[in-house]
Amino acid sequence: MKLLMENWRNFINEELPADFSAAQVVPVVDFLNSPEGKDPKVRAMLGAGSDDGIPGDEVIDVTKAQPPVGALKPTQNQISLMKSIGWPLSTLNSVTNALTGDITGRGKSIVTSGDLVIDGHHRWSSTWATAGAKTKINALNIDLPGAGPLNKLASAQVAIVATMPPDAGDVPKATASAEDNILGKSGEEIKSMILERRGQQTEGGVLLGDEYLQKIVQVPAAQKLWGVKPGMSAQDTMERIVNVVANNLSQLPEPQGPERNYMPQFDGGETHDGQVSLGNVVKKMQSGDVNYKAAYRAAKKGTE
């Protein structure tokens, strides 16, 4: 047992950064996905901040906020067109919901840290697409430790892993298609992309379908945001909507972070559905149990 503990101390001193929030997200995720980073002792230790001998030093503040979408910057370097327009260009309610800060109407908040979007990029871009840069969005603002975006993303990934079962494997991830990416595209390019996808099935319905175009002119929020009017032809309605939405999306700022599969997924992403939840991660951070900086010690139970 003495030799095992000595080997453990040597490992954490040699292999773990003194402060994960001073490291960048790509090497941190690569480490967490390595055999060493997936060691159950390491995973348990990352959730044992209260056992590290310095209680309270890793408490992270979380507050509710409602910032304008235009005051925020993306951290991931790909934003999907279809995930940005699928709801507002296929469902009537989402256009109205955009003005409330909850475009999907599901009571969800995006995750921010200061002026950075950490998770929920497509709810953010969808709100911007629908209602413009001044529109406010519901957010949980997390005071993530780290000097810059890549450091804050690393802290977020450690917090997510700290809530996962020790044997849950790789860090949660989600993917995106480069062909569908709109960051850096002009309004005309985005307009062409939207028209090419008209008629496709989305989670909410058919994109710019005939029934949608017929009814959207009666929605006060659409009249306000897009200038549509009762009596407009379907072609004129579609042209008006696509022009406004494409122009809005062309104004999205440049990303501050890596490709999407290195981005934090507070809901488990495409790989860990049911194993990760935003609520659990927030509780872990607020309690100081996310062990993101030295001194590191093994968790008290089950890891000796």
- Whole-prediction pTM: 0.91
pLDDT of residue 21: 92
Q: Where are the beta strands (DSSP E) in the chain?
A: 62-65, 73-74, 110-113, 116-119, 139-142
* Contacts by 34-37, CB closer than 8 A, 24 or more apart: 36/11
pLDDT of residue 125: 98
pLDDT of residue 5: 43
pLDDT of residue 223: 98
As a whole number of angstroms, the distance between CA 211 and CA 122 comes to 25
In three-state secondary structure terms, 67 is coil
As a whole number of angstroms, the distance between CA 198 and CA 89 comes to 9
Q: Is 1 exposed, middle or buried, given 0-12, 13-18 or 19+ CB atoms closer than 10 A?
A: exposed
* 80 in Cβ contact with 194 (< 8 Å): no
Percentage of the chain modeled with pLDDT above 90: 75
pLDDT of residue 11: 58
Spans of the chain below 50 pLDDT: 1-5, 302-304
Question: Helices 234-249 & 187-196, crossing angle to 10 degrees?
Answer: 130
**Token pair listed for 149:** 């975006």
pLDDT of residue 293: 85
